[in-house]
Chain A
Amino acid sequence: AQSVTQLGSHVSVSEGALVLLRCNYSSSVPPYLFWYVQYPNQGLQLLLKYTSAATLVKGINGFEAEFKKSETSFHLTKPSAHMSDAAEYFCAVSDGNRDDKIIFGKGTRLHILP
């Protein structure tokens, strides 16, 4: 069975500082990996996804993530945090089939300190 583990349910960073949200995955097949963002009382927005092409994936809003098979990780980073980045972030995994379900991590709430 596939799963993702997000380390840290809450992460606080200062505005302008590096954002690092950690995600480790478990999958018996080559995975597809996703990062989503959810603002309060809203749906999900896809930030980026890894689909077995380039291991460094660039997404929207300046975010990027690197797939590291040896570490089974897919951490999300952003060089400089902005106040508008405060939200809930979810890492997710699927087995790569077009119409397959994805499994979500528990989420990490990112707090931006002024």
Chain B
Amino acid sequence: GAVVSQHPSWVICKSGTSVKIECRSLDFQATTMFWYRQFPKQSLMLMATSNEGSKATYEQGVEKDKFLINHASLTLSTLTVTSAHPEDSSFYICSARETQYFGPGTRLLVL
């Protein structure tokens, strides 16, 4: 079956640095991928829709200049958290194709 991978699984960084998270579709092409964020003990909130070859579509309240999304190929979307701060610490999850295939998630801790 279709598999979505994420890298890294865990990342710890200092406040003010940028962190890049990769989302890959391993055995299918994904023209659209989705990025979600989940804070502890909360639900998943959609951040943005990543579109191959075009700009991402951001949900209301999500800063596009802070969360940079690049979908340069049909199998890879990247989310870069720029100038990360402790409040950005969260679990970031991507999904692709009919949104039933989710990556394993990336846990970000900003010190």
Q: Is the CB–CB distance between B43 and A106 below 8 Å? A: yes
> Is there a chain A Cβ closer than 8 Å to B64's Cβ?
no
Expressed in whole angstroms, the Cα–Cα distance for A100 and B99 within the complex equals 7
What does the 1/0 interface line of B74-96 toward A look like (CB < 8 Å)? 00000000000000000001010
Give the bracket for the number of chain A residues in contact with chain B.
20 to 34
> Is there a chain B Cβ closer than 8 Å to A17's Cβ?
no
Shortest CB-to-CB span from A12 to chain B, Å, is: 17
Give the bracket for the number of chain B residues in contact with chain A.
20 to 34
User: Chain A residues with Cβ under 8 A from B100's Cβ?
Assistant: 34, 46, 49
Assuming A98-B97, A98-B98, A99-B98, is B43 touching A104 (CB within 8 A)?
yes
> Is there a chain A Cβ closer than 8 Å to B110's Cβ?
no
Expressed in whole angstroms, the Cα–Cα distance for A46 and B97 within the complex equals 13
Shortest CB-to-CB span from A75 to chain B, Å, is: 18
User: Chain B residues with Cβ under 8 A from A94's Cβ?
Assistant: 98-99
Expressed in whole angstroms, the Cα–Cα distance for A32 and B42 within the complex equals 22
Expressed in whole angstroms, the Cα–Cα distance for A34 and B101 within the complex equals 12
What does the 1/0 interface line of A47-59 toward B look like (CB < 8 Å)? 0010000000000
Expressed in whole angstroms, the Cα–Cα distance for A36 and B98 within the complex equals 14
Chain B 46-71 residues near chain A, CB threshold 8 A: 46, 49
Residues of B within 8 A of A (CB): 30-32, 34, 36, 42-46, 49, 93, 95, 97-100, 102-105, 107
